[in-house]
Chains A and B, each alone.
Chain A
Amino acid sequence: MIGLRSGTLSVESGRFRSQIPGGHVRQGARAKIVFKFGPGFPERRSRLLSVEFGKFPDGELMSLALARGERITAKFVVSAALPPRLVLAAICSLLLMAATAAADDHNPFAGDPKAAQAGEYEFRINCALCHGLGARGGGRGPDLTRAQKKHAHSDAELFQVISNGIPGTVMPANGTNGQGVGMTDEEIWQIITYIRSVEVKTAASPRGSAAHGRELFYGEANCSLCHMVEGRGGRLGPELTAVGGSRTRAAMIDSVRNPSRRLAWGLTEATKEFPQEYETITVVTADGKKIKGVARNEDNFSVQMIDASEQIYLLEKDKLRSFQKSRESMMPTYTRELLSDQDLDDIVAYLISLGAK
């Protein structure tokens, strides 16, 4: 190891804003960077990096993972490893630091309560619209307070999910939702730190029996008359294969005990900013036939609905004798007399086991 460059930088408001002269690095060089901060700050060391850029631009904005509002001086030492023909004329840029953070599996803020708070604010601005205040899940996004997550387990995986989005879902890649240039790496790590701080650790043995829940779902609880799971079941209500991975236990229990309190999102959730929901539609056709069912879609002039016998009706509103829309769900209210707490726990356990797949 040869120390090639060292010095001090001043930090303002949690970010380096230093002008650093540019320089050249030979392609294929590998470097390790050690940042040593003032008292109270742990030394931070990058992994061995392949330096893929030939040139560091002049005057790049430095961005380092520090608590906001701090004014400290940081000493930094840039060390280079083999190959020995490595030449580092001058070093350091935001790019390199970003590469360090992104390539590093290690969350530089892990367990830091200040970073968690900064992350909470960032979460509200960037995530809460879908994932809800407090990360407990919203209309679209899963509850993130559950320790077990479907798409990411480690901090590094969370980082990837936030950075790149989840293909095939409405989770966008950072900076691609038409709102600005996205979060910096350090802000993503802060959000991850925040999410970790609000996670609810699950009990050693999960509540409820998934096997019994499955029996109930397809059996005497009659869930499968209206709900499909893994290709089996009815068509009137929402498909539930993935629901256990995205809704909180409490939300699932609430939607069984009080099905009308909050109707499920319907067909157009992903593309519209307003809800299209499983509202109950009752119409009387021109020839006097009464049809009651669930809206699949609707506009000012037509309605597409499905009734309890799974018949689809395509209707023009001006040809109907009457049209009524209600937020009273067609799903029966499962009281404790109909379904005990224990049985409901079992069904929820079954859905959670499916959602974790």
Chain B
Amino acid sequence: MSAGRKFAAWSLFFFACVFVPPAWAQVTFERLLNSAKEPQNWMTYSGDYSGRRFSMLGQINTTTAHTMVAKWVFQTGATGKLETSPLEVDGILYATAQDDRAFALDAHTGRPIWLYQHPLPGDIRPCCGRVNRGLAILGDKVFLGTLDAHVIALDTKTGNVIWDVVAADYQKGYSFTVAPLAVKNLVVIGVSGGEYGVRGFIDAYDAASGERKWRFYTVPGPGEPGHETWEGDSWKIGGAPAWNTGTYDALTNQIFWPTGNPAPSNRGEGRAGDNLYSNTLLALNADTGKMNWYFQFTPHDEHDWDATEVPVIIDSGGKHLIAQANRNGFFYVIDRTSGKLISASAYGKITWSDSKDADGRPVARKEASPTLEGHTVCPGALGTTNFMAPAFDPQTSLFYVTARDQCDIFSTAPQPYEAGHAYYGSAYFPSEEAEPYRGFLKAIDPATGEVKWKFEHTSPTWSGVLATAGGLVFTGDAEGNFIALDAAKGKVLWHFQMGGAVYAAPIAFAVDGKEYVAIAAGSAVYGFGLP
């Protein structure tokens, strides 16, 4: 036996010993709850229930990152924006694409195992592209919310439809773009449609049967607390959608779910009041959907500043906190047991507020309201940040968020509500007088609200951020680059040109003991690793 053959034989032996085939074990709630025990998997939208989008893998680190290579590319065949954040469990990657495609890939090779596409009617009402942000997984099913407001359970091994329920009437503007969150035996999902005057809600479905277990209307009806914050019948079409994935805290058995703009987005006339629970962080009992507390970021919003950004659970110095980098330009830290505001610090260019109330909450200047002729307010309608997923790194204690400095001309005009018809109450325009838009990755210290470092992009990006135990943060840019930076300093360590703009968030996982980082760009999903 030649040395080469001996080596091959030994290799085979070791391979057989070391390579444990995927367990094909079901994803139980206990596994989701204890996701820290299996850092090789990425089982929820944000990687764990805290929303921090942090991977404990460190093979790819500040020393090795510069050697990273593309391992595989999967072309989805879809056109438009890919906003998906994949899941990865036991060697299989699950993700979504435009027009409610879902697919499972061999996470090692990128080869598809199954492909599913939900048949959509021709007259759906997407707000901002025919997008989807990902799946939830529980048991032997993955869960997809669709643009025609269905919630669908697919078999993890085949993509076969197990159940398909209709949550709302898509012809009135209801849709789903969000990645659901699986908690206990429930699939929790929030609706989109703030541009169509929907009445927002968060639903919980039994994962096994698809039966709806609870619904929380984000706009309270008659007799419910908060109803008095709406003028007349405006609550019926009050918006307050819930289109980004919330987080879950086992300590208090609470789901934290953020809500979006009141409708119409750019006109406050006709909906006098704070418009609860628009632009609010809701703390809901996971079993019942009953509200424990709420915190409203932007009362009576007239600038389309959805507060739908991921609320990140942070434990620090014995304090149980929840932090959100809000679209309105402030970084909020809240006590998650009581809902009391601890701090609010500007992390981008803002002109809408120059004072705070007794609780420390930023208060809007009257002059910031949109006018008929239009005037410039910062941030613009896209916000200081938006749906891009942030990350929190417990090693650096820094919160990483994609931010943009852009001001817009906000104008308003009366617009009658028509069911299923876009309902903005006018619109915004790029401000010609303002400086060119600037885009950043910012590292915020939640303890002080201070921006510790920032990395400026060539232009603003819609990419989410991933932090890893390798001392890295990953993000993408509008020009198609995938970038690894030193988490402590913000120095670029590696980059790869993917050939398409990034609107998605990265994840990390490991297969056969090898770390991968995956992200969608253009119309493809990419897997990266060490050579």
Please report A residues at the B interface, Cβ cutoff 8 Å: 13-15, 68-69, 120-121, 124-125, 128-129, 132-133, 138-139, 178-181, 262, 272, 274-277, 298-301, 327
Contact = CB atoms under 8 A, between A and B. Distances in A.
Nearest to A63: B418
B195 A180 contact: yes
B481 A125 contact: no
Interface in B113-172: 123, 125-130
Contacts of A132: 429
25 contacts: A15-B418, A68-B416, A69-B416, A121-B414, A124-B426, A125-B413, A125-B424, A128-B427, A133-B374, A139-B430, A178-B80, A178-B126, A178-B127, A178-B129, A179-B126, A180-B195, A180-B196, A180-B421, A180-B422, A274-B437, A275-B436, A275-B437, A275-B459, A277-B436, A299-B497
Interface string B32-67: 000000000000000000000000000000000000
B422 A125 contact: yes
A121 B429 CA distance: 14
B510 interface: no
A133 B428 CA distance: 10
Contact of A121 (B126, B415, B458, B479): B415
Contacts of A128: 427, 429
A327 B414 CA distance: 38
Contacts of A300: 457-458, 477, 479, 481, 483, 492, 495
Contacts of B196: 180
Given A178-B126, A299-B480, A300-B477, A125 B501 contact: no
Nearest to A13: B416
A181 B126 CA distance: 9
B420 interface: yes
B460 A274 contact: yes
Given A125-B424, A181-B421, A299-B480, A272 B429 contact: no
A298 B497 CA distance: 12
B181 to A, nearest CB: 26
Given A180-B421, A274-B437, A298-B458, A133 B411 contact: yes
Nearest to A180: B422
Contacts of A125: 413, 415, 422, 424, 426-427
A121 B426 contact: yes
A201 to B, nearest CB: 24
A68 B417 CA distance: 12
Contacts of A179: 126-128, 195, 422
A179 B420 CA distance: 11
B442 to A, nearest CB: 16
B478 interface: yes
B357 interface: no
Contacts of A277: 436
Contacts of A133: 373-374, 409, 411, 429
B477 A299 contact: yes
A272 B478 contact: yes
Contacts of B416: 13-14, 68-69
Interface in B51-97: 80
A133 B420 CA distance: 26
Nearest to A175: B123
Contacts of B195: 179-180
A120 B195 CA distance: 19
B432 interface: yes
B495 A301 contact: yes
B458 A138 contact: no
Contacts of B492: 300
Nearest to A325: B458
Interface in B480-524: 480-481, 483, 492, 495, 497, 501
Nearest to A69: B416
A124 B481 contact: no
A106 B287 CA distance: 60
Nearest to B436: A275
B480 A181 contact: no
B429 A178 contact: no
Contacts of A274: 437, 459-460, 478
Contact of A299 (B128, B130, B414, B481): B481
Contact of B130 (A13, A14, A139, A178): A178
Q: Among A120, A178, A277, which residue has the most Cβ atoms of chain B within 10 A?
A: A178
Given A300-B481, A300-B483, A124 B501 contact: no
Given A178-B129, A181-B420, A301 B429 contact: no
Contacts of A14: 416
- Most chain A beta-carbon neighbours within 10 Å: one of B128, B416, B437: B416
A178 B128 contact: yes
Contacts of B409: 133
Contacts of A69: 416
A33 to B, nearest CB: 23
Contact of A129 (B415, B427, B460): B427
B425 to A, nearest CB: 9
Nearest to B417: A13
Interface in B367-393: 373-374
B508 to A, nearest CB: 22
A121 B437 CA distance: 27
From B123, B126, B432, B459, name the one whose CB has the most chain A CB atoms within 10 angstroms. Answer: B459
B369 to A, nearest CB: 16
A24 B66 CA distance: 71
A277 B435 CA distance: 13
Contacts of B429: 128-129, 132-133, 138
A179 B173 CA distance: 11
Contacts of A276: 459
Given A124-B426, A179-B126, A179-B195, 6 more contacts: A121-B413, A178-B126, A178-B127, A274-B460, A275-B459, A299-B477
Contacts of A275: 436-437, 459
Given A179-B195, A274-B437, A298-B458, A262 B432 contact: yes
Contact of A180 (B125, B374, B414, B497): B125
Contacts of B480: 299
Q: Which of A138, A181, A275, A327 has the most CB of B within 10 A?
A: A181
Contacts of B478: 272, 274
Contacts of A272: 459, 478, 501
A276 to B, nearest CB: 8
A327 B436 contact: yes
Nearest to B129: A178
Interface in B452-469: 457-460
Contact of B125 (A120, A129, A181, A262): A181
Contacts of B130: 178
Nearest to B415: A121
Give the interface centre of B196, B422, B424, B437 by most chain A CB atoms within 10 Å: B422
A121 B80 CA distance: 28
A69 B373 CA distance: 22
A132 B460 CA distance: 22
B130 to A, nearest CB: 7
Nearest to A303: B458
B40 to A, nearest CB: 31
A178 B177 CA distance: 13
A227 B127 CA distance: 40
A293 B138 CA distance: 56
A349 B418 CA distance: 45
A262 B433 CA distance: 9
Nearest to B125: A180
